[in-house]
With several copies, the nearest count.
Chain A
Amino acid sequence: MIKLVTTIDINEAYSALQHPEAGGISLFIGTVRNHASGKSGVTQLDFEGYEPMALKEMEALAETARVKWPIKKLVMIHTLGTKKVGEPVVIIGTSTAHRKDAFDSCKFLIDELKKSVPIWKKEYFDDQTVWVNSHP
């Protein structure tokens, strides 16, 4: 299950990961923190995506992960739009027969998603907005 949504449903993600031969499910949920690197007071965030390309990149990462690990089921869901502190913005999940593969593949997918999937985060502070990572 790979998709872009406005709101994450953890139960839906968990259900999509169930498989009779899976002994372990690793889920990663990224949430909005109230402080970004070196700054405090994030009040909200906006996520914008280049949607068709983001989905293609997510599918490509999933394919790479499936070659590296014996994954039974896989979930990559990212939200777009406005989020408040504490809200989930991304959920990644893998189910495998053995738990180490679930942890390793789940971590790979979130690490790579953050590097290559064309989604952008704008942080709102009291007095300014910042597109995260844009400037050195």
Chain B
Amino acid sequence: MEIKLFGITKDIVGRDMLPVPANIQVHTVTELKEWLYQQYPGLEKLSALAVAVNQTYAEDGTALDSTKEVALIPPVSGG
């Protein structure tokens, strides 16, 4: 599974696409965020962090797998 990164999450992680190693089990949005917060503590300091699955805002319990497009959505600031 790969995670698309935008805005400040791209700066914190230092790249725009983060592969999740095959030996890491992240089956839900909550599990993904827990793993990310361990790896990149800067992500936990954001005012909010959403996850999009297949280009739609996902719930904490939404299931993840490698067939889905997954992205981190830091606080938006368009307009």
Contact = CB atoms under 8 A, between A and B. Distances in A.
Interface in A34-66: 47-50, 52-54, 56
B11 A56 contact: no
A127 to B, nearest CB: 17
Interface residues of B, number: 20
B71 A53 contact: yes
A116 interface: yes
B55 A134 contact: no
Contacts of B76: 114-120, 133
A54 to B, nearest CB: 8
A25 to B, nearest CB: 12
Interface core residue of A52, A117, A133 (most chain B CB under 10 Å): A133
A115 B73 CA distance: 12
A30 B47 CA distance: 24
A120 B77 contact: yes
Contacts of B6: 48-50, 118, 120
B56 A53 contact: yes
Nearest to A78: B78
20 contacts: A30-B79, A48-B6, A50-B4, A53-B55, A53-B56, A54-B78, A90-B79, A114-B77, A116-B76, A117-B76, A119-B79, A120-B77, A121-B78, A122-B7, A133-B75, A133-B77, A134-B7, A134-B8, A134-B74, A134-B77
Interface of A: 30, 47-50, 52-54, 56, 78, 89-90, 110, 113-122, 131-136
